[in-house]
Structures are given as C-alpha cells and as structure tokens.
Amino acid sequence: MVTANLQRSLAVPPSIRASPSPIASGAAVVQEGNGRDLESAEQLVLDLCDPALREHALLVISKKKEIFQDALAPLLWHSFGTIAALLQEIVSIYPALDPPTLSPGASNRACNALALFQCIASHPKTRMLFLNANIPIFMYPFMITKTNTRPLEHLRLASLGVIGALVKTNDPGVVEFLLRTEIIPPCLFCMENGHELSKTVATFIVQRIISDDLGLRYMCTNAERLLAVVQILAQMVNSERLLAVASVQRDPAKLVKHVIRCFHGLSADARACAALQIILPDVLKDGMVDTYLVDDLATRRCLQQLLHNVKVGGVGGAPQPGLDHMMGILTI
Ligand code: TRP
C-alpha cells in the first residue's frame, strides 16, 4: 500500500515541501502499482530532483524499468520537477557535441535519461503529453553529430530509440508531429553516417513514416525529398555495403528488410515508382538479397510487390516536370 505521505512527497519536492500548492498530483499514478518496487521507484524518482543523487537514481531506474513496468512512465511524467531534471541532463551535454569532447561517463548518464524518455514515449498515457510538450526535439541534436566516437554513437542510438518507440505505435499524432518537426533529415543523416544499429533504427523510423498516408505524401510531393530518401536507401543496399554490414552486425537481415519495406511503401506512389525505375539497386532485382529473406515470407512478398509496382507503376503516370529535371541530373 502507498501511504498518503508518499503521495504528498511525490507531488512536492523536498526543497519546497512547505509550499501550499503542489503542481502535479501523483495520486492517480501511485494507486496503480503495487508492492515494494513501486515504493522504491517513487523514492528514486524523487531523487532525480536532487543533483547529488541524480546520477545514481538515473542508473538504477533505467536498469529497473522493466520491473517498475507500467507505473513508471506516469510517475516520471506527473511528479514535480522530474521532466525538467531529465531535460537538464540532456541539454547540459550539448556543448560537448561539437567539437566532440563528451566523456563515456557523461554519455552513459545522458543515455540513462534518454532511456527514461523512451519509457515515457512508449506509454499510451504519457506519449501524447510528451509530444505536446515538444520534448522529442531535444533529441534531434544527438542524431546529427558529425563524428562517430563511441560516446556520441551511443547517444545517437539512444535518441533513435526514443523516436523508434514513438513510431512503433499507431497513434496518428506521432507521424504528424515528426514531420512537422522535420525528423526526416536527421534520420537520413543517421542512415548515411551512423553505425549499423543506428542505420537500422533510423531506417525503421523512415519505414513507419512512409507506411502512413501523410508520411508518404510528405515524401513524394517534392522531387528533392523523394530523391534524397531513395538515394540513401539505395546506397545502403549496394552489395559492398551489404557485405560490410554482414560482417559486423548481428542481424544484417534487419536493415535489408527495413530498406525493402521503405521501397515497398514508396512504390505505392507513381512519382516514387518513376524514380525507383532508375535508382532501385540491382541487388534487389537479381535475387542477391534473397539469402536475407529465407525465413521471412512477408518481406519476400513485399519485395515481389515492390518489383511489380516499379515495373508497372511509372507507366502512364502524370508528367512530373520536377522529377524529370532531377532524373536528368541523376543520369548525367
Ligand atoms: N526542409 C526540407 C524539406 O522540407 C527538409 C529536408 C531536407 C527533407 N532533406 C529532406 C525532407 C529529405 C524530406 C526528405 O524538404
């Protein structure tokens, strides 16, 4: 059982406990959970507001987040001062991004804060609150860092994890938010420059956006956008890259599958088909990627459908002067 005392301590940080008006009430939240774990979660969440205890609390909460389960995200969101503390953790390392002076320890600490944001992004009760507060934008700078040092790559992956958690759901507000805040350029940057795991998560995000009507329209209404996306996807599956990926990544098939699904999603649009007729990599047409798909009938079907769409899709489409012009540049 959670006592009234604990509820009060959640609503008001120790430093201003005498204040008459708590800003957020944790009452609705704490009643959901049960047992000792939740009590320790509450104490740890309170500790986040104390700079002296924060690093330890971040580490423990992010390690135990599966144990705290469903109660953690609402607890983090509704407790007083917690989100501000997490944001401060993130913003405070911006100066170490360029030139890259971030230490592994500082990166770990920020990654733990990002893991808690991921938890908030995954929870149906906090996801839209998180979006409406524009917090994902604070993660974008970590996606576009110019060097691939381990601490920076680790941050990039943790940031992609937050966005990946948002797009895993079918909440209609998510894609709209991500497009409005221009997530595509940072994702493309990760696909071009990140390590294999970052490439995979970034491609997954783009795939989910393309699978949304609004996202597909966004990508295809403008020739520059379409070509930027298609060219980077194509680059990732050229045979040289495939071999490089296969040697270092545990599951190279994942990246290949996401790329196929991105192309497949794009091939629903006639303008995209016209571009794909020229740019679609040979490795997708000549059976070279089939070894990655032996156990995955669904993606094999996607590939077949993609090849079919590209074959028939560009024919008879409306003229697209913008795209023709871009194709001219491409074929030079
Ligand atoms: N402001 C640019 C645009 O809206 C953002 C952008 C750059 C972009 N490259 C892109 C968007 C590639 C989609 C795909 O076009």
Q: Residue 93 sits in a domain of what CATH number?
A: 1.25.10.10
Average pLDDT rounded to a whole number, residues 97-107: 97
Distance 304 CA to ligand 1 centre (A): 29
Tokens 């990732």 found at? 236
Cβ(232) – ligand 1 distance below 6 Å: no
Range of the domain at 170: 41-221
Q: What is the pLDDT of residue 119?
A: 97
Number of domains in the chain: 2
Cβ(279) – ligand 1 distance below 6 Å: no
Q: What is the pLDDT of residue 246?
A: 56
Which amino acid residue places its CA nearest to atom 10 of ligand 1? 225
In this structure, are 166 and 236 located in the same domain?
no
Q: What is the pLDDT of residue 257?
A: 94
Q: Range with the lowest mean pLDDT among 2-16, 112-126, 299-313?
A: 2-16
Q: Could you report the per-residue pLDDT of 164-186, keeping only the tens digit for each?
A: 999 999 898 999 999 999 999 99
In this structure, are 248 and 199 located in the same domain?
no
Q: What pLDDT band is residue 33 in, cutting at 50, 70 and 90?
A: very low
Q: How far apart are the first and last CA of the chain?
A: 72
Q: Range with the lowest mean pLDDT among 57-61, 196-200, 272-276, 290-294?
A: 290-294
Which one of 166, 198, 221 terminates a domain?
Answer: 221
Helices 184-193 + 196-210 axis angle, to 10: 150
In this structure, are 256 and 288 located in the same domain?
yes
Q: Which atom of ligand 1 is nearest to the CA of 182?
A: 5
Which amino acid residue places its CA nearest to atom 3 of ligand 1? 225
Cβ(133) – ligand 1 distance below 6 Å: no
Q: Range with the lowest mean pLDDT among 44-58, 228-242, 300-314?
A: 228-242
Q: What is the mean pLDDT of the chain?
A: 85
Distance 102 CA to ligand 1 centre (A): 29
Cβ(184) – ligand 1 distance below 6 Å: yes
Residues of the chain by 3-state class (helix, strand, coil), percent to 5: 75, 0, 25
In this structure, are 93 and 213 located in the same domain?
yes
pLDDT over threshold 70, residue 144: yes
Q: Which atom of ligand 1 is nearest to the CA of 218?
A: 13
Which one of 170, 199, 221 terminates a domain?
Answer: 221
